Amino acid sequence: MAIADYLLVLVVAVCAYTDLKSKKIYNAVLFPAAAIGLVSSFYSGGLAGGFNGIKGMVLGIALLLVPFILGGMGAGDVKLLGVVGAFKGPDFVWSAFLYAAIIGGFISIAIMMRSKGFWARLKAAIYTLLSFFGFMPRINYLDTIYTSSAQTFPYGVAIAAGTALAFFLR
């Protein structure tokens, strides 16, 4: 592992910790990390490496932009995945994103199972999917999910775990 990889691991670990502790991922960590990631991409790979870092950062941000706009996650999560892309490029950030999504899904299911109304939420999600694909009349069953007390979790933890998994499985 290069020094930049160790720095990325440190940044992701710090962000996961602050997300767990205060449900915030701080710009004071993310902006310098993004700059360092881009500079290290340019330094290690020349112009092509630098553009690879830029593409990775843009892809990382783009992958989580829609969930952010829909209110499913915070801006810090989006920027954190962008930082991962700035350090490692688009191929790595895609892998980290997929692993984070899978890990985040398992965390969400575990949280839902511990809360009240798990079966009602699961039923509403299934009915909504069936309705969306035309297997039953269109009815918005998701209102039952949104009106209940929704629990959230710090997605920075899933991003950190997905990034770690991408490191180990590459």
pLDDT at residue 108 greater than cutoff 80? yes
Contact status, residue 85 vs residue 94, Cβ threshold 8 Å: no
Percent of the chain whose predicted confidence (pLDDT) is above 70: 91
Q: Look at residue 139 in the predicted model and tell me its pLDDT.
A: 63
Secondary structure of residue 69 in the 3-state scheme? helix
**Whether 167 contacts 9, CB under 8 Å:** yes
Residue type for position 154: P
Reported confidence tier of residue 27, pLDDT bands at 50, 70, 90: very high
Q: What is the 3-state secondary structure (H, E, C) of 10-55?
A: HHHHHHHHHHHHHCCCCHHHHHHHHHHHHHHHHHHHHHHHHHHHHH
Check residue 146 and give its pLDDT.
52
| Three-class DSSP category at 97 | helix
3-state SS assignment for residue 135: coil
- Distance between CA 162 and CA 74 in Å, rounded? 17
Is the pLDDT at 91 greater than 70, yes or no? yes
Residue 25 predicted with pLDDT over 90: yes
Domain ranges of the chain: 3-102+153-169, 116-150
